[in-house]
Amino acid sequence: MHLLLVEDDPVLANGLMHSLQLANFTVTHEANGQRADHWLTVKCFDLLILDLGLPDMDGTEILSRLRQRGNLIPVLLLTARNSLTDRVHGLDGGADDYLAKPFELQELEARIRALLRRSQPIGHARLEVGGLCLDMEGQCATLNQVPLDLLARELNLLKILMQQAGRVISKDVLCEQLSSAGEEISSNAVEVYVHRLRKKIESGGVSILTLRGLGYMLALP
């Protein structure tokens, strides 16, 4: 799952990114309000963690623009503004949840999982291709019921391939979907991730095919 974290406190942002990545989330961080609004128009994210007090554009304005565009991405407000008026205003403005600073990391992760669970269409919380199974809520994968040890980007790559199993996905599309703010993924890096993932799943009879000049495809059994 790909999260967008909009937070201008560098210490808090770095700590959250580290913890969420350890929990197998792919995290894009943005500290500037206007740039965050731009990211939300050009990339697809699974969840937005949004601070309210931001440079250049307040979080409430970002939320308002997001909903006006018809974007239904789950939004968790993470802010020091904790009055009843602020909470009501944020929820009425389109947020799905509200967590005041300071907070416990375990609670934040639980709220993220709950929001992602509610946002998944019924029957789509798990993806299965042959003996390969991806639990999108738990952010973990198994091969023939044996847990796979995957890095966050490998897990995200697997999700993309499984969602389009039997279809060719170009390298450019994978570069775009695996990239995060300030850290774009090169085509060479995609090749490395595909190579690593292929080695981890090939023993279970699941294949990632390379189609020269076209891209990659997770072959259906």
Whether residue 9 is found in the same domain as residue 41? yes
| 132-135, strands of its sheet edge to edge | 126-129, 132-135, 140-143, 146-147
End-of-domain residue from the set 90, 119, 148? 119
Domain boundary among 58, 93, 119: 119
Provide the greatest CA pair distance for the chain: 58
Question: Are 135 and 113 within one domain?
Answer: no
Q: What is the pLDDT of residues 20-53, one digit of tens each?
A: 988 878 899 999 999 999 989 878 788 999 998 8
Question: Does the structure show a pLDDT above 70 at 2?
Answer: yes
Residue 19, domain CATH:
3.40.50.2300
> 45: domain range?
2-119
What CATH code is carried by the domain that includes residue 143? 1.10.10.10
Domain count, the chain: 2
Band (pLDDT 50/70/90 cuts) for residue 120 is low
Q: Is-above-0.75 flag for pTM?
A: no
Mean pLDDT of the chain: 87
* 5 pLDDT tier (thresholds 50, 70, 90): very high
Three-state DSSP state, 145: coil
In the block, residue with structure tokens 């944020």: 90
Per-residue pLDDT, 140: 86
What's the confidence (pLDDT) of residue 182?
A: 54
pLDDT tens across 63-95, in order?
A: 999 999 888 899 999 988 777 888 888 888 899
Q: What is the pLDDT of residue 124?
A: 53
pLDDT at 135 over 60: yes
The whole-number pLDDT of residue 14 equals 93
Is residue 107 domain-shared with residue 203, that is, in the same domain?
A: no
Mark whether 112 and 151 lie in a shared domain. no
